[in-house]
Structure 1
Amino acid sequence: MPQNFRLRFNGAPAARELRAAAARGLFLGAEHVLGLATNVVPLDEGYLQSTGTASVDEPSLTAMVSYDGPYAVRQHEELEWRHAPGRTAKYLENSLNAARPEVAGLIAAQLRRALR
């Protein structure tokens, strides 16, 4: 005997929840990159290290990791400058490149959680 089914899908709440989950995953990923960068950021007095922040712009789903010290960009870009052992230029770029798989995993985990 044939059966008929009717299904209503209200996609707007699902889309909002997935977007929020993606933003949470991005923030967790940015925090992870910040942690890695903080371990290798050039260190003299510790000021630059203390200015690191992670944030997310939810409307554009863009994560940011930044250091706000007056010489943060210069420390990042000057490959010829000498640093303490374990500290290096390109502290953000290298940390992000090293953390790509973990960041993708953090975002995916938040999306999976939202789909439950």
Structure 2
Amino acid sequence: MTQRGYTLRFNGDQVAAELHGAAERGVLMAGEYVLGESQAVVPIDEAALSRSGTVSVDPGTLTSAISYDTPYAVRQHEEMTWRHAPGRQAKYLEQPLVQSRAQVQAIIAAQLRRALR
């Protein structure tokens, strides 16, 4: 019986870089998903608030931020006594984020799985 030698080469730095890139893409995609869900319930008067919605990613911490940038965005989000058009609401960012927890995790996990193929 002949003995065969095998060499295993593990490119750990390359794997880590690929996974970090995949995680960054996943965090961005998840943020965009939550923003889309939020757009369905954000209060609309002249649509300035809705148009100001954006997603940003911090690659160092692999976190995303979903924000609305108008002078009244925070108050509009927190003021539970204000009346809104049908289907629109206060907590227009918080509620979609909480309800999308499983989808957010699935989006990030899918990107990581793709990187490991």
TM class by shorter chain equals over 0.9
Aligned residues: 116
In 1, the alpha carbon distance for the partners of 2:28 and 2:97 equals 13
1:7-42 residue CA offsets vs partner (Å, 9 max, x unmatched) = 221200100000000010111100010001111011
1:74-115 residue CA offsets vs partner (Å, 9 max, x unmatched) = 000111111111010111110101111111111011001000
Partner of 1:62: 63
Question: % of aligned pairs identical?
Answer: 58
Partner of 1:8: 9
Structure 1: unaligned runs, 5 residues or longer: none
Partner of 1:89: 90
What is the one-letter code of the residue matched to 1:53?
T
In 1, the alpha carbon distance for the partners of 2:90 and 2:102 equals 22
In 2, the alpha carbon distance for the partners of 1:30 and 1:113 equals 18
Q: TM-score, normalised by structure 2?
A: 0.94
Cα deviation, residue 3, structure 1: 4.3
Cα deviation, residue 4, structure 1: 4.0
Q: TM-score, normalised by structure 1?
A: 0.95
In 1, the alpha carbon distance for the partners of 2:83 and 2:70 equals 18
| Secondary structure of the structure 1 residue equivalent to 2:100 | helix
Partner of 1:41: 42
Structure 2: unaligned runs, 5 residues or longer: none
